[in-house]
C-alpha cells in the first residue's frame, strides 16, 4: 500500500509539472533559427567551433529550426514532450532490466528512480532545463544519461550489452552539453586510468584479456569528451565578452576555484541551492536526509543481487558527478565572473541528488559480503516499508515550496498561450511591423521579458531584438509591457 502510494504521488507530481509543457517559452530561438535559416549547416559548424561545442544537441536544434520553418509554428509542446519522454525512459530503463535480478530488486530500483525523478523538479528553479526547448535539447539528454547510469550502477553493469549501452550513453552526454563532457571525462578517465594501472600490476594473459575487454568501452567516450574540451578552449573560453560579473575573478583559474568552494557547499546544503535561510536549510536537511536514508535502506535490502562491479562503478560515478558539478561552478566564475545561469543551477541541484543517492548506495553495499539469507529477508521486509515512506517524505517536504508556484502558473496558463498566439499571429501577418505581446514570466515555466517600446531594425539593434525581427522578416516591432 505504501509502495503504491509513493509511486502514485511521484507520478502525480511529475504529471503536474508535465502539464505545464505547452506553456514553455522561447529565449534564443528567434535569433538562432533566423541564423540557421540564413546560414544552414554552415552556421551549425560556426556555432560548434566558436560558441557551443555540442554536436548532438546543436544538430537537434538545427532540426528543430527546420521543423518550425516547415510548419510555421513554435512546436514547443511536442518538442518538449519528446525530450521529457527521453528523460523518463533513461530513468526507467534500469528498473526494467533489473527485473532479471528478481521482483524485489526491480521494486526497490523503481521506487528510488521515480523518487529521484520527482526530486529533480522540486524545491529549485526548473524553467531553463525543462521548459525552454533550446536549453532542454542540451540538458535533458545529459540528465537522462546521468539518472540512467545511477540506476544501472545501483546493481552493477557487468555484461557486454550493458557496457555498450553505457558507452553510447556517455558519448551522448559528452556531445549534448559541456557539463556532460565534464562528467564523461572524469568518469571515463578514472575508469580507464584505474584499469590501466591494474593492468601494469598484473602480467598473466587471462587477466590481460579480461582487462582489455573491460577497458575498450571507456576509450571512445574519453576521446569524444576530450574533443569537446578542445573546441571549448579554442572557441568560447577565449572570449572576454561574457564577463558581466567581477572582472577580478573572471579568467583566473585559482580565484575561480576559491570562489566556487563555498558556493558548492551552499548548493549541497540548501533546498533551492541558492539561499541559506532557515527555511531552506531545514527543508533541505529533512528532504535530503530522508532521500539518503531511503536509498541506503533500499540498496541494503537488495545487496544480495548487487554485482561485484557495482561498488567500483558507484564510486567512480559519484566522483565524476561531484567533479563535473564543481567544475561547472568553477567554469561559471572563470567565464562570467559570477555564478551563471539558472539552467546550470538546476543541473547542479539534480546532480546533487544523484550524488547523495550514490553515496548512500555505496555505503549500503559495504557489508554485502556478510549478508545471510535470513538477514536478507528481514531487510527486504523493512525496506518495503521504510524505503517508500522515506522517499515519500523527501518528495512531500521538497514540494512545499513548489506547490504555490505550480498553482500560480496553472492559473495563468491562458496568459502564456494567449501571448504566444498573439505574437505569432502578428509576426505571420503581411504588415512590415508586428506586436510582441509580453507577460510576466511564470514561476515554474519561466519566460523572458524584454524592455517595452518600439524598435526599428538597424545596425545597432541588440541581437536578441534583431533576432525576433529577422525571424519574422519585419522592419519594426512594438513590445508591450507585461
* Cell numbers representing residue 81 in the block: 514532450
What pLDDT was estimated at residue 2? 87
Nearest to 358 by CA among 317, 301, 307, 310: 317
pLDDT at 289: 96
Span 96-116, average pLDDT: 86
User: What's the CA gap between 383 and 2, in Å, rounded?
Assistant: 11
The pLDDT of 427-449, averaged and rounded, is: 96
CA distances from 376 to 10, 112, 157, 326 (A): 27, 19, 22, 37
For a pLDDT cut of 90, what percent of the chain falls above it?
70
- Percent of the chain beyond pLDDT 70? 91
Beta bridge partners of 476: 433, 456
Give the pairing type, strands 453-456 and 433-436: unpaired
Q: Is it the case that residue 206 has pLDDT exceeding 50?
A: no
Phi, psi values for residue 433, rounded to 5°: -115, 170
With H, G, I as helix, E, B as strand and everything else as coil, classify residue 228: helix
pLDDT at 381: 67
pLDDT score for 354: 97
State pLDDT tens for residues 383-392. Answer: 677 899 999 9
Give 358-377 pLDDT, tens digit per residue: 999 999 988 655 555 555 56
What are φ and ψ of residue 411, in 5° steps?
-65, -35
C-alpha closest to that of 57 among 121, 185, 144: 144
| Alpha-carbon distances, residue 154 vs 92, 350, 357, 379 (angstroms) | 13, 17, 9, 17
pLDDT of residue 103: 82
Rounded CA gap, 309 and 317, in Å? Answer: 12
**Rounded CA gap, 212 and 206, in Å?**
10
Determine the pLDDT at residue 246: 84
pLDDT at 216 over 80: no
Residue 219's pLDDT is 85
Question: What is residue 250's predicted lDDT score, i.e. its pLDDT?
Answer: 87
Which residue has cell 533566423? Answer: 34
- Over the stretch 377-410, which tens digit does the pLDDT of each residue have? 665 666 677 899 999 999 999 999 899 999 999 9
Among 204, 209, 20, which residue's Cα sits nearest to residue 127? 20
Helix, strand, coil: what percent of the chain each, to 5? 75, 5, 20
Rounded CA gap, 61 and 58, in Å?
5
Q: How confident is the model at residue 160 (pLDDT cuts 50, 70, 90)?
A: confident
Please check the confidence at residue 474 and state whether its pLDDT lies above 60: yes
What's the confidence (pLDDT) of residue 207?
Answer: 44
Cα–Cα dist 418/410, whole Å: 13
Query: What's the pLDDT tens digit per position in 16-39?
Result: 999 999 999 999 999 999 999 999
* Of residues 457 and 98, more confidently modeled: 457
Encode pLDDT of 272-319 as tens digits: 888 888 888 999 999 999 999 999 999 988 877 777 778 888 999 999
Q: What is the predicted pLDDT for the residue at 129?
A: 97
Phi (first) and psi of residue 366, to 5 degrees: -60, -30
User: Look-up: residue for cell 541551492?
Assistant: 273
Find the range with the poorest average confidence among 88-92, 159-163, 177-181. Answer: 159-163
* DSSP per-residue string spanning 270-315: SSSSS---HHHHHHHHHHHHHHHHHHHHHHHHTGGG--TTHHHHHH
CA–CA dist 120, 94 (Å, integer): 17
**pLDDT value of residue 406:** 97
Q: Count the Cβ atoms, other than its own, within 10 Å of residue 239.
A: 12
Average confidence (pLDDT) over 429-455 = 96
**For residues 339 and 345, is the Cβ–Cβ distance under 8 A?**
yes
* Model confidence band, residue 48 (pLDDT cutoffs 50, 70, 90): very high
Q: What's the pLDDT score for residue 233?
A: 85
Most confident of 1-5, 122-126, 161-165: 122-126
- Whole-number mean pLDDT of the chain? 90
Query: pLDDT tens across 252-276, in order?
Result: 899 999 999 999 998 998 888 888 8
Q: Is the pLDDT of residue 140 over 50?
A: yes
**Selection from 339, 345, 273 nearest residue 127 by Cα:** 345
Q: How confident is the model at residue 159 (pLDDT cuts 50, 70, 90)?
A: confident
Residue 238: pLDDT band with limits 50, 70, 90: confident
**Exposed, middle or buried by CB within 10 Å (0-12, 13-18, 19+), for 251?**
middle
Distance CA 432, CA 150 (A): 53
Contact 349, 143 (CB under 8 A): no
- pTM for the structure as a whole: 0.93
| pLDDT given at position 325 | 96
User: Residue holding cell 523572458?
Assistant: 448
| Residue from 446, 444, 351, 326 nearest 143 by CA | 351
Amino acid at each position: 500500500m505504501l509502495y503504491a502510494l509513493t509511486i502514485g504521488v511521484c507520478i502525480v507530481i511529475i504529471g503536474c509539472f508535465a502539464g505545464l509543457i505547452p506553456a514553455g517559452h522561447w529565449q534564443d530561438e528567434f535569433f538562432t533559427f533566423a541564423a540557421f535559416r540564413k546560414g544552414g549547416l554552415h552556421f551549425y559548424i560556426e556555432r560548434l567551433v566558436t560558441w557551443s561545442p555540442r554536436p548532438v544537441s546543436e544538430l537537434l536544434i538545427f532540426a528543430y529550426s527546420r521543423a518550425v520553418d516547415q510548419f510555421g509554428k513554435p512546436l514547443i509542446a511536442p518538442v518538449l514532450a519528446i525530450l521529457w519522454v527521453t528523460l523518463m525512459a533513461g530513468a526507467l530503463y534500469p528498473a526494467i532490466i533489473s527485473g532479471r535480478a528478481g521482483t524485489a530488486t526491480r521494486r526497490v530500483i523503481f521506487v528510488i528512480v521515480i523518487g529521484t525523478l520527482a526530486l529533480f523538479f522540486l524545491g529549485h528553479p526548473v524553467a531553463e532545463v525543462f521548459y525552454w526547448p533550446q536549453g532542454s535539447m542540451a540538458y535533458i539528454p545529459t540528465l537522462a544519461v546521468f539518472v540512467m547510469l545511477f540506476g544501472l550502477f545501483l546493481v552493477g553493469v557487468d555484461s557486454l550489452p550493458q557496457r555498450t549501452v553505457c558507452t553510447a550513453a556517455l558519448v551522448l552526454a559528452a556531445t549534448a552539453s559541456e557539463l556532460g563532457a565534464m562528467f564523461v571525462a572524469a568518469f571515463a578517465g578514472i575508469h580507464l586510468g584505474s584499469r590501466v594501472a591494474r593492468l601494469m600490476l598484473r602480467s598473466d594473459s587471462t587477466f590481460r584479456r579480461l582487462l582489455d575487454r573491460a577497458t575498450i568501452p571507456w576509450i571512445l567516450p574519453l576521446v569524444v569528451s576530450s574533443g569537446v574540451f578542445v573546441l571549448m578552449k579554442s572557441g568560447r573560453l577565449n572570449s572576454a565578452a561574457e564577463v558581466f560579473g567581477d572582472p577580478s575573478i573572471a579568467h583566473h583559474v585559482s580565484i575561480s576555484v576559491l570562489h566556487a568552494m563555498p558556493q558548492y557547499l551552499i548548493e549541497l546544503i540548501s533546498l533551492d541551492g541558492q539561499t541559506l535561510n532557515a527555511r531552506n536549510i531545514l527543508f533541505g536537511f529533512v528532504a535530503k536526509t530522508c532521500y539518503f536514508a531511503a536509498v541506503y535502506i533500499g540498496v541494503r535490502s537488495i545487496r544480495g543481487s548487487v554485482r561485484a562491479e557495482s561498488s567500483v562503478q558507484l564510486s567512480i560515478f559519484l566522483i565524476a558527478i561531484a567533479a563535473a558539478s564543481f567544475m561547472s561552478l568553477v567554469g561559471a566564475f572563470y567565464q562570467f565572473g559570477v555564478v551563471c545561469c539558472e539552467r546550470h543551477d538546476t543541473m547542479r541541484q539534480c546532480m546533487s541528488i544523484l550524488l547523495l543517492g550514490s553515496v548512500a548506495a555505496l555505503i549500503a553495499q559495504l557489508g554485502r559480503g556478510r549478508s545471510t539469507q535470513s538477514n536478507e529477508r528481514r531487510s527486504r521486509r523493512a525496506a518495503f516499508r521504510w524505503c517508500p515512506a522515506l522517499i515519500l517524505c523527501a518528495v512531500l517536504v521538497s514540494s512545499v515550496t513548489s506547490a504555490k508556484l505550480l498553482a500560480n502558473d496553472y492559473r495563468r496558463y491562458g496568459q502564456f498561450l494567449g501571448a504566444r498566439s498573439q505574437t505569432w499571429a502578428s509576426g505571420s501577418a503581411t504588415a512590415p511591423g508586428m506586436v510582441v505581446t509580453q507577460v510576466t514570466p511564470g514561476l515554474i515555466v519561466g519566460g523572458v521579458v524584454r524592455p517595452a517600446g518600439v524598435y526599428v531594425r538597424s545596425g545597432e539593434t541588440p541581437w536578441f531584438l534583431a533576432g525576433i525581427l529577422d525571424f519574422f522578416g519585419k522592419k519594426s516591432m512594438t513590445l508591450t509591457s507585461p
